[in-house]
Amino acid sequence: MNIKDLNSSLITIIQKKQELSKLTYDDDRYDEIEEELHDLEDDFNENFGDFLEDILTQVHDKVCPDTDVLLPTAYLPTQLASEDNATISAKEGVWVDTEEFPDREARLVLVPNPTRLVLSVGKNVRKEVWKA
């Protein structure tokens, strides 16, 4: 697995999500940008899906065994995270039920620079659970 290509693809998709989020539905470019995003996500899942689904299965087994594994693109944020993960919003990624933080809203987020999975709990907890 080429981790540099994986990381680069993550960045490209997140940047496209950012671009789309700045447009309104009535913008002439909205449908075009949305289609580009879907194509990028399809290519990402095709190129890296099997690898990431194996990783996600392992992480889910350890962190949130009662939560189903989704497609890797479901775990992507809409903004690029800082290296200390402080900028990951509490609403990014996939909601998971974790035994470590019972009765708290927890999410798994796949972020680049470096490529990693972060468990985000509320506004204060950001725990790296896998790193490429």
Higher pLDDT, 89 or 34: 34
**Angle at Cα 41 formed by Cα 47 and Cα 113, nearest 5°?**
75
Residue 130 binned pLDDT confidence (cut-offs 50, 70, 90): very high
Domain hosting 58: range is: 3-131
How distant, in Å, are the alpha carbons of 5, 11, 86, 116, 118 from that of 124?
Answer: 30, 24, 8, 18, 13
| DSSP one-letter code for 82 | P
Residue 85 pLDDT more than 70?
no
Instruction: Please give the pLDDT value at position 84.
Output: 59
CA atoms of 109 and 117, how far apart (whole Å):
5
Residue 22 is given by DSSP the state: T
Where does the chain have alpha helices with state H? 3-21, 30-63
Counted domains in the chain: 1
**Structure pTM?**
0.89
